[in-house]
Structure 1
Amino acid sequence: MSKKIASACALVFCGVAHAQSSVTLYGLIDAGITYTNNLTGSAGNGSALQFISGSSQGDRWGLKGAEDLGGGTRLDFVLENGFVLANGKLGQGGRMFGLQSYVGLSGPWGALTMGRQYDLIGWIFPAYAVASNTPAGLLAWSLPTNAAGGYTLDNRVWGDEVDNSVKYMSPNFGGFSFGAMYGFGNIAGSLGTNSSTNFSVSYDHGPFSATLAYMAIHNVTTSANSVEYAAGTAYMIGKVRIFGLVTDVQLSSGAKQRATTFEGGAAYTLRPDLSLAAGYQFQKRNNDVGSANQLTLSADYFLSKRTDVYLVGALGHDYGYGAQVQAGYGSVSSTSTQVAARVGLRHKF
């Protein structure tokens, strides 16, 4: 018996020794000073000058790994933690790996992953958004996510993490690819409760790319489901990247709130170390709720390939709710307008 056990152990360790595997530590930290006017607060209305981290991109660190299983198949995993640089606290409600935690297989047939993952809209559409084609981040994510004076009609372009999800991404077929994702609600006796369904079709060839997507979420509120359609495109002309997208989100019950958001812009690489960008967003809503719009300008100077300093300015108008120029860390304006400016430092490792 001991010889059999020894032989089995030898086979296991032999397999491990010959497998090609790797684990990488990576991350991003962002810090800066943000000025915002017309803020509404418990101490009254006024302006604020604040130190805010994770505004351009959320602070994070993560581990990603891969193992070659042979025959062109590979095991992949990602464990990504979100935190707040300003005070060291965990993000995403204190989760250890609140941004992403998944494992899967990939090969010539595509990639299948399982766990907590970004939905397909959040995975793909930042490529067409003002917030991520510029260093604006939360200063440009606020309008599309504030469609109901909160986040009820979040259009998910900044990426919602979906628990208990299974995602498939196809290989490229002559420039075309597609994706499908299902988030299990994990509610006993009800398959649909708290579940989500997500599809995408993309085309990417040379300087042109475009994507269409659909997402349905059960119980996005206690009494309503949501349906979202999204379309985005980008084109590179020399040193200029032109980008744009449109999303439409509607709730299924009650007042059946609906928000349609358009955004577009351009980023110009003036020099290898300097980029200038501008973007405009417009949102219309049903139920006679006023529209909203925002203009965002930015300059991004690269000290190295991994470190940059940036300046962002944003002017927002919201005729249905008080304007809120910065998502997450901002607060509603005491008027229909709000201005914000930020200077920041970002490092990727």
Structure 2
Amino acid sequence: MKKYLIATVALASFACAARAQNSVTLYGLIDVGMNYANNIGGHRQYSMGAGNLAGNRWGLRGTEDLGGGLKTVFVLENGFSVANGRLGQGGDEFGRQAYVGLSSSNLGTVTFGRQYDSINDLMYMFVAAQMWAGYASAHPGDVDNTDGSNHINNAIKFKSVSYGGFTFEGTYSFGGITGRFNQNQIWTVAANYTRGPLTLGAAYANARDPNFSYFGNNAASSTTGSNMSGSRVYSGYASAKSQQIFVAGASYVVGAATFGVNYSNTRFKDIGTLPGLPAVGAGGDARFHDIEANVLYQLTPALFLGAGYNYLKGYGVNGATYNQGAIGVDYFLSKRTDFYANAVYQHASGTDSTGTKAVANLNGLTASTTQNQAEVVIGIRHRF
């Protein structure tokens, strides 16, 4: 009996110690506002919009300490609309993120599952849409994924620790097609460096068969039709064999102001390769230059003001040009709750991916019937 009691106490002590080294956190974000758009398919629209500044989500984040600076990590993150309660990301239960892996305090973290790409992870701090301006202010169509619209399935990711301010990352996604190793595969790499008030970064992504890999990665995605119909900026290029993206950016802090700039070059290569899909400019490549400049100013500890300008120029098989400006104000009632107001305006010209006269098409909105489109949003955001 005495030995039994000793063993029981020892096991209980071990269990308590194990629990002390483990953690699981429930977290989330709820963002909703009143939206006005001047032209949605030819009509004004007043609506309730969810996820204006940041996508609505809830998730579980956990770690287990394995000792020696090594730990297990996992994230399960669901996306949804607070306006109607529906699942986001095409109805996927954990459509934002779902991964597990190992993290070393000396080397970095390797994870496996559905994840963001390296562009999103290491370039977001240079992009107004990610920092303060909201979803509609993303580069037209989020053609370069700098606002993180596209997630990656079947992905292996490694992110290093910081080496004197230098961090690098790489992601590889298996295509999963039997006998065709390269089909639908995606790989991305990125690095950034921070020293004092200056941050620099660069990233590259290569997506094979982007209509089915980069854009068609949800349960509701089509396996035969177009998954790239969300924006006229790129909808005509669904048959491209690959999408290649290069992004570079910088930010600099001067007193209460943070200045940011980023450049991207996006290429839809070998249009017409995938049969049965839109193929404007078949046999050629569609390319886009994009440059953005922005500034965020902290007027008081609780009040932030932002302004940004973005220019997207298509060339190759298309000649569309998009000029876009955004302004915003964000007031924090607490560390977790803030009120915000944003306005975005876009002017389009030239010929877009559909082969017709370009019309304005703010990210996430139905296209305008004219060359101009504007949206104003007033909302509230809460984190938990």
CA shift at 1:237, angstroms?
0.9
Output the TM-score relative to the length of structure 2.
0.82
Letter in 1 for 2:165: G
CA shift at 1:178, angstroms?
1.1
2:163 aligns with one of 162, 166, 173: 173
Letter in 2 for 1:279: G
Letter in 1 for 2:146: V
Distance in 2 (CA, whole Å) between partners of 1:46 and 1:177 is 47
Count of residues paired in the alignment = 328
2:147 aligns with one of 139, 148, 158: 158
CA 1:343–1:306 in structure 2 vs 1: closer, same or farther (change >3 Å)? same
Distance in 2 (CA, whole Å) between partners of 1:178 and 1:297 is 32
In structure 2, the partner of 1:250 is: 267
Distance in 2 (CA, whole Å) between partners of 1:112 and 1:13 is 32
CA shift at 1:15, angstroms?
5.6
Contact 2:240/2:268 (8 A) holds in 1: no
- Per-residue CA deviations over 1:119-141 (Å, capped at 9, x if unaligned) read 0101222211011222x211212
CA shift at 1:82, angstroms?
0.2
User: Are residues 1:65 and 2:82 paired?
Assistant: no
Which structure 1 residue ranges, 4+ long, deviate > 6 Å from structure 2?
9-14
Distance in 1 (CA, whole Å) between partners of 2:369 and 2:110 is 47
Q: Cα RMSD over matched residues?
A: 1.9
Q: Which 5+ residue runs of structure 1 have no aligned equivalent?
A: 1-6, 146-153
Distance in 2 (CA, whole Å) between partners of 1:116 and 1:284 is 31
Letter in 2 for 1:182: Y
In structure 2, the partner of 1:309 is: 339
Distance in 2 (CA, whole Å) between partners of 1:342 and 1:38 is 14
Contact 2:129/2:138 (8 A) holds in 1: yes
CA 1:130–1:15 in structure 2 vs 1: closer, same or farther (change >3 Å)? same
TM alignment of 1:55-94, pairs within 5 A: 55-94=52-91
1:262 aligns with one of 287, 291, 304: 291
CA shift at 1:219, angstroms?
0.6
Letter in 2 for 1:165: A
Instruction: Pick which of 100-109 and 281-290 moved more.
Output: 281-290
Does the residue aligned with 1:271 lie in a helix, a strand or coil? coil
Letter in 1 for 2:257: V
CA shift at 1:12, angstroms?
8.6
Distance in 1 (CA, whole Å) between partners of 2:145 and 2:191 is 17
Contact 1:130/1:280 (8 A) holds in 2: no
- Per-residue CA deviations over 1:162-195 (Å, capped at 9, x if unaligned) read 1000000112222212111100111111111111
2:242 aligns with one of 225, 233, 237: 225
User: Are residues 1:340 and 2:362 paired?
Assistant: no
Distance in 2 (CA, whole Å) between partners of 1:315 and 1:34 is 14
In structure 2, the partner of 1:26 is: 27
Output the TM-score relative to the length of structure 1.
0.90
Tell me the percent identity. Answer: 36
CA shift at 1:277, angstroms?
0.5
Letter in 2 for 1:57: A
In structure 2, the partner of 1:50 is: 47
More strand by share: 1
